[in-house]
Amino acid sequence: MSYNSFGHIFRVTTWGESHGPAIGCVVDGVPSRLTISEDEIQHFLDQRKPGQNRFMTQRQEADKVQILSGTFEGMTTGTPISLMIENTDQRSKDYGDIKDKYRPGHADFTYMEKYGIRDHRGGGRSSARETACRVAAGAIARKVLGLGIEVKAALVQIGEHEINRDNWDWDEVGNNPFWSPDKDMVPVWEKYLDDIRKKGSSIGAVIEVHAFGVPAGIGAPVYAKLDSDLAGAMMSINAVKGVEIGEGFNAARLTGEENADEMYMDEAGNPAIRTNHAGGILGGISSGKEIVCRFAVKPTSSILTPRKTVDRAGNETEIITKGRHDPCVGIRAVPIGEAMMACVLADHILLHRAQQG
Amino acid sequence: MSYNSFGHIFRVTTWGESHGPAIGCVVDGVPSRLTISEDEIQHFLDQRKPGQNRFMTQRQEADKVQILSGTFEGMTTGTPISLMIENTDQRSKDYGDIKDKYRPGHADFTYMEKYGIRDHRGGGRSSARETACRVAAGAIARKVLGLGIEVKAALVQIGEHEINRDNWDWDEVGNNPFWSPDKDMVPVWEKYLDDIRKKGSSIGAVIEVHAFGVPAGIGAPVYAKLDSDLAGAMMSINAVKGVEIGEGFNAARLTGEENADEMYMDEAGNPAIRTNHAGGILGGISSGKEIVCRFAVKPTSSILTPRKTVDRAGNETEIITKGRHDPCVGIRAVPIGEAMMACVLADHILLHRAQQG
Amino acid sequence: MSYNSFGHIFRVTTWGESHGPAIGCVVDGVPSRLTISEDEIQHFLDQRKPGQNRFMTQRQEADKVQILSGTFEGMTTGTPISLMIENTDQRSKDYGDIKDKYRPGHADFTYMEKYGIRDHRGGGRSSARETACRVAAGAIARKVLGLGIEVKAALVQIGEHEINRDNWDWDEVGNNPFWSPDKDMVPVWEKYLDDIRKKGSSIGAVIEVHAFGVPAGIGAPVYAKLDSDLAGAMMSINAVKGVEIGEGFNAARLTGEENADEMYMDEAGNPAIRTNHAGGILGGISSGKEIVCRFAVKPTSSILTPRKTVDRAGNETEIITKGRHDPCVGIRAVPIGEAMMACVLADHILLHRAQQG
Amino acid sequence: MSYNSFGHIFRVTTWGESHGPAIGCVVDGVPSRLTISEDEIQHFLDQRKPGQNRFMTQRQEADKVQILSGTFEGMTTGTPISLMIENTDQRSKDYGDIKDKYRPGHADFTYMEKYGIRDHRGGGRSSARETACRVAAGAIARKVLGLGIEVKAALVQIGEHEINRDNWDWDEVGNNPFWSPDKDMVPVWEKYLDDIRKKGSSIGAVIEVHAFGVPAGIGAPVYAKLDSDLAGAMMSINAVKGVEIGEGFNAARLTGEENADEMYMDEAGNPAIRTNHAGGILGGISSGKEIVCRFAVKPTSSILTPRKTVDRAGNETEIITKGRHDPCVGIRAVPIGEAMMACVLADHILLHRAQQG
């Protein structure tokens, strides 16, 4: 990963500020002759789009993607795909208060320390708006993965409320505004989040991303490990503070007997792995089991409760962030996590093909 | 991160197998005129060295580092520093049993699926022996950081036993074989690990790494985030399954009010941050607060209990891994975590200087 | 350099096809707080713009650049600068004949072999239109270089007609449509090119780029040599077939006595170099002397004379390329060569600062 | 290319100084299950080895290569291949005179300006001794290319004396100490170089490298062009001042009719290209024709004639470089040019496979 790019072969570069004229990305290294359309990309962008229900920021962005290059007659040409999303609802006046005050828990202060200048309008480059580009790139990555590999994510925790894994049903994920795989959790989260929202507060969450159908052998030692790149990718999403593969931190509590997944010969006569504590990755390389990655999203610090801070002139002061924010940004991180998984996998599949044919 | 290299400017490439003639690394991008000696590097390697007490593998490696290039009259010259550690205690006969059987939870199977060939002796390239090179590179990274930045790590959990953070004392870390900052935990872990060791079992652990003195402004949006690179770096260490910054997964349980660190003007008249839920990083950029990173290490799967597996010929079988292994590999991961933190910080300090002078 | 990006720190990614909706680039790694405006970038784009006189393609492109991100209130913010130029005069019907036939000397055939698909309209991605993005990026690079470093280029040869170096006058370069530093050569080239143009033919050229004011110490051994990166950068320009530094190929004819530039102490008491056979670079590192780089541009293969070729169906046939082409594309390569020199220097100055402060 | 590494997938990192304990390289990204032995690498190193005849430096280096990692039972394993060559004939006392004086035309001054320190013994890192590592890496690259692709180079010019291309015979190249493909030129060069050598002078040369059997489609627009990477690779070789593809600088003298290579259908019914002015590359992508690259090597500046220079203390002085140098370093650049061509091709073949399968 470098400043604003990630990936080795399937390489994504994003650009744009929250309240500039547009945001976008350039996706390079895409194999030719994949069918792709703006509608297919739009489908995934719409999942992330703000303003869809009361648990999301009410900022209204059409988030209409345009393909500016890299396709011809509906197919990729192997040249860089440039995607652009115009910013339509910028209302920068809403953000006047944060022009001079540093929002606690925000990047306002650190950007200022680093660059000596910042585009304060809506967080500028540090805005989660950048993640729309990841989702768009992820739609292209899925084309690289093809039909055999499926990437799906779900929300598994909001605040103290974790789902019951016995209830996990992927079909439920699209049936509720939270991407919950446990339908029993939906009314609990609904009530809980309504309360958070009314107080002008916010809360953290945990997202879990699965990839099905990834063949064994993808990834690479030692520093291009599949899990290493996934960790970097997920941690690069705004507000993420932790990443786990398989058992994750729980592995610290297990013995070798409990944790190591035994092998057997499957019905087709191929070596197979029974359990999946490893989350589908051994030694940085996919094992053929489902890949499982989780990440934790902190609560947004844009809240209505007054908080102590300082301003650029060096005065202590208080701040209330009035913008239109998400009570639980973790919800919108679900399609973003899927997109990052798709991008990392697409990249590693190409990288594997490079070395091993 | 690419196959066997990491870092943007301060760039480390490692090579070598567990039972080949030697292992080593090339450290590139090091500023000139830093004093460095083999003894200084050796100091850190000795911390990681196997065979130091009964809680470590009894493999006896001198782990003597040689500087082959990049220094002149005791100073760095700005050219690549090549470090080599000869493998002296290879005893490859110990590993005869794993030649044809895949060890559950190991990279044996995935390497074979990827490459169609593997050096089975002691795990070959997938061996934790590679981490000696990280520690050596970390010693050079510390020179880049200089005296103002200090990197320290400690073990905070083995199995179910977590330290009491109220007892945290950095001075205790060097006084016990576990790098525990809580001296009351030492006898508990001692008894617990003796039991694990006698059973031929193994257990996971959690390591916490702190960096003191990092100025605000280090790191970069969006994909060269300091936390993103730290996550990738820590996850690339053998057996790591989770990484956290600051509150980590606990951030999912917090409200915006609880999590966002308030600001104030310090005695010197500079903006400062009171609490440190963020772990010293906001928007991917250091805030001037202590940087805090944690990672979870799974239990080694090299255990004496027979485990079901398959062999290369496609027969179901059982395996006992008899080698000389660590009951808790997490212990030796402490200096490795320090080294990776030092390398990532050195790299980002140079990267920041590139762009911002 | 990777697929569509170049540079280590100052990193340029370009995208777009000749006849798509737009072309553009993302310039990453730019230091913050540099003043920059669309007008300043436009100034350089206008130098390269087609249709300015009868020695250029008559394609009429406004080539209006828009800054979409990375600046705030007229200054760079340190975040990626996205530049876009809309394609206005696409007239794709002109190119109907080349849809199925491979133009000799063009990338038509090799793109098809590589990708199995190509955007034939105006050459698609292989069109020299891409170079507008280089010129735009070069305008930003000049901001990084600052006032102390000046990059200038001139045309020194068209076909058999080379300038007389005794007549070299930088002030003349802007006074003629050929960027000739030798005013006596202008009428010669004028007559010569009129003849070429009327025959529907084309001719090659040589461009020479100088950089003044580059301090000693920029560049790096062994593979990030300044001359190595310059060679790669210039050779990446469409139609370039050769690159030289200083004496270039003439160095093969010289003895060590003739070629090695002697040193002396200058009036300010600093070590200095008398002659400049080396073209300002020794061991890949700038010497403080003027940097001198030359490159040869082949004649465009889009000519009116019928040429033997094959079509996609495998039939032998003939082709005449009717589009609106340059009789000597080398003329428009002058600002492009300047831009590439500026980009490489900006990148290396940041890279040097990274390692050496 | 970064500081001391080059290549995208097939990536070579070299290290070591002329008079340190050893030099070496790490070759990463090599596909697994290629047979490789030290003897096969040694074969190519012996071609470059100094001291083989009176036209080379009389420095006596065994240049014995050791494989330290990345192979198992004679085959590559897909992990990094570490190669080391110990320095045996260091005789550093010979270089006492250059400790404080800057050799004109050498990197002494620029290294000092950049790093403020330099290993003056034999040129340290700037010594052509580094190129032994390129040759070793090239031997591995040839394994990646396989039997279908052959890379061969020849010397085509020394000083004013160019070969007669009508006499070109690849079989002659190995029959004379100059790698001349024109046997009639051998006595001419012999006499000419004896004269140069006796005077303690030196002379430049031109090397031409051909690659046979490269399929169409290798390379990539726009900045990973095959010719762009070749230009960067060749220019990174010590003392190289110019690079050409196909017609090179001569293309500036040609018309479109003369330069563009016509196409036809060959006997097997495939599209083919008749002439090869393009040197086998169109739009940065291989055309299926022989790839032809030339580079010019300047005369070494280590000569016996006294030259004016300055010392580190700022005094004007004279210098005679007494070491054991090559009268024409271009001769030993022949196997180096081959190696760089092989490395770039291997890299691009893997890179092509990544994107296009």
Give C294→chain A minimum CA distance, Å.
29
What is the model's pTM?
Answer: 0.97
Arithmetic mean of pLDDT over chain C: 93
Contact C20 A68 (CB under 8 A): yes
Chain D hits for B2, CB-CB cut-off 8 Å, are: 11, 28-29
Q: Nearest by CB to A110, from B203, B282, B314: name it.
A: B282
Q: Nearest by CB to B79, from D11, D75, D125: name it.
A: D125
The residue of D9, D114, D118 whose CB has the most chain C CBs within 10 angstroms, and thus the best one to mutate to test that interface, is D114
pLDDT tens string, chain A, 357 residues long: the values are 789 999 999 999 999 999 999 999 999 999 999 999 999 999 999 988 777 777 777 666 788 999 999 999 999 999 999 999 999 866 555 566 788 899 999 999 999 999 999 898 888 999 999 999 999 999 999 999 998 999 999 999 999 999 999 999 999 999 999 999 999 999 999 999 999 999 999 999 999 999 999 999 999 989 999 999 999 999 999 999 999 999 999 999 999 999 999 999 999 999 999 999 999 999 999 999 999 999 999 999 888 889 999 999 999 999 987 766 789 999 999 999 999 999 999 999 999 999 999
Q: Nearest by CB to C232, from D125, D206, D231: name it.
A: D231
**Checking DSSP bridges between strand A11-16 and strand A5-6, what pairing results, if any?**
antiparallel
Contact A243 B246 (CB under 8 A): no
- A277-286, B288-297, C83-92, C155-164: which range is least confident on average? C83-92
- DSSP reduced 3-state for B267: coil
- DSSP reduced 3-state for B344: helix
Q: What is the mean pLDDT of residues C298-314?
A: 91
Query: Residue C81: pLDDT band by 50, 70, 90 thresholds?
Result: very high
Question: Residue A236's closest CA among B127, B222, D279, B265?
Answer: B222
Contact C61, C55 (CB under 8 A): no
HSE toward the beta carbon, residue A115, CA cutoff 13 A: 33
Q: What is the mean pLDDT of residues D324-342?
A: 93
Q: Nearest by CB to A31, from D79, D350, D357: name it.
A: D357
Arithmetic mean of pLDDT over chain D: 93
Contact D2 C224 (CB under 8 A): yes
Give B294→chain D minimum CA distance, Å.
29
| Calpha distance C56→C197 (Å, rounded) | 10
Chain A hits for B262, CB-CB cut-off 8 Å, are: 104, 307-309
Give C201→chain A minimum CA distance, Å.
30
| Calpha distance C142→B170 (Å, rounded) | 50
Touching partners of D (3+ C-beta pairs < 8 Å): A, B, C
Query: Is pLDDT of D281 > 90?
Result: yes
Q: Nearest by CB to B354, from C32, C221, C353: name it.
A: C353
pLDDT at position B109 is 95
Q: Which backbone phi and psi does A23 adopt, to 5 degrees?
A: -125, 165
Query: Is pLDDT of C77 > 90?
Result: yes
Contact D354 A30 (CB under 8 A): no
| Calpha distance A51→D166 (Å, rounded) | 75
Burial class (CB in 10 A: 0-12, 13-18, 19+), A235: buried
pLDDT at position C93 is 59
| Calpha distance A308→B261 (Å, rounded) | 9
Query: Is pLDDT of B155 > 60?
Result: yes
Contact B352 A114 (CB under 8 A): yes
User: Which is higher by pLDDT, B277 or D52?
Assistant: B277
Query: Is pLDDT of C97 > 80?
Result: no
Query: Is pLDDT of D293 > 80?
Result: yes
- C187-201, C283-297, C320-334, D114-128: which range is least confident on average? C320-334
Name every residue in D having a CB less than 8 A away from some CB of B.
2-5, 11, 13-17, 20-24, 26, 28-29, 32-33, 66, 68-70, 72, 75, 77-82, 84, 114-119, 124-125
Per residue in B165-212, pLDDT (tens digit) is 999 999 999 999 999 999 999 999 999 999 999 999 999 999 999 999
Q: What is the mean pLDDT of residues C236-243?
A: 97
Contact D203 C251 (CB under 8 A): no
Contact B355 C79 (CB under 8 A): no
pLDDT at position B55 is 77
Written as six digits, the tokens of B91 are 């005893």
Contact B278, A105 (CB under 8 A): yes
Query: Is pLDDT of B58 > 70?
Result: no
Give C73→chain D minimum CA distance, Å.
32
Contact C124 A77 (CB under 8 A): yes
Q: What is the mean pLDDT of residues D143-148?
A: 95
- DSSP reduced 3-state for C125: helix
Per residue in D208-220, pLDDT (tens digit) is 999 999 999 999 9
pLDDT at position B249 is 98
Give C299→chain B minimum CA distance, Å.
39
Contact D354 A9 (CB under 8 A): yes
pLDDT at position A303 is 87
Give C291→chain A minimum CA distance, Å.
29
Give C351→chain B minimum CA distance, Å.
6
**Which residue on chain C is closest to D353 by alpha carbon?**
C114
Q: Nearest by CB to D355, from A29, A356, A357: name it.
A: A29
Give C208→chain B minimum CA distance, Å.
29
Kindly state the percentage of chain D with pLDDT values over 70. Answer: 96
The residue of B106, B109, B131, B289 whose CB has the most chain A CBs within 10 angstroms, and thus the best one to mutate to test that interface, is B109
Query: Is pLDDT of D341 > 90?
Result: yes
Chain C hits for A114, CB-CB cut-off 8 Å, are: 32, 78
Contact A310 B264 (CB under 8 A): yes
Per residue in B218-266, pLDDT (tens digit) is 999 899 999 999 999 999 999 999 999 999 999 999 999 999 999 999 9
| Calpha distance B285→C151 (Å, rounded) | 34
Write the DSSP symbol of residue A130.
G
Touching partners of C (3+ C-beta pairs < 8 Å): A, B, D
Question: Residue A350's closest CA among A13, A4, A12, A30?
Answer: A30
Question: Residue D240's closest CA among D214, D209, D276?
Answer: D209
| Calpha distance D7→C216 (Å, rounded) | 27
Burial class (CB in 10 A: 0-12, 13-18, 19+), A315: exposed
Per residue in D67-112, pLDDT (tens digit) is 999 999 999 999 999 999 999 865 555 566 788 899 999 999 999 9
Written as six digits, the tokens of B200 are 């031929």
- Residue labelled with tokens 């109220």: B166
Chain D hits for C308, CB-CB cut-off 8 Å, are: 262-264, 274
Query: Residue D10: pLDDT band by 50, 70, 90 thresholds?
Result: very high
Q: Where are the extended beta strands (E) located within D178-325?
A: 205-212, 240-245, 263-265, 271-273, 281-282, 285-286, 291-297, 307-310, 316-319
Burial class (CB in 10 A: 0-12, 13-18, 19+), B58: middle
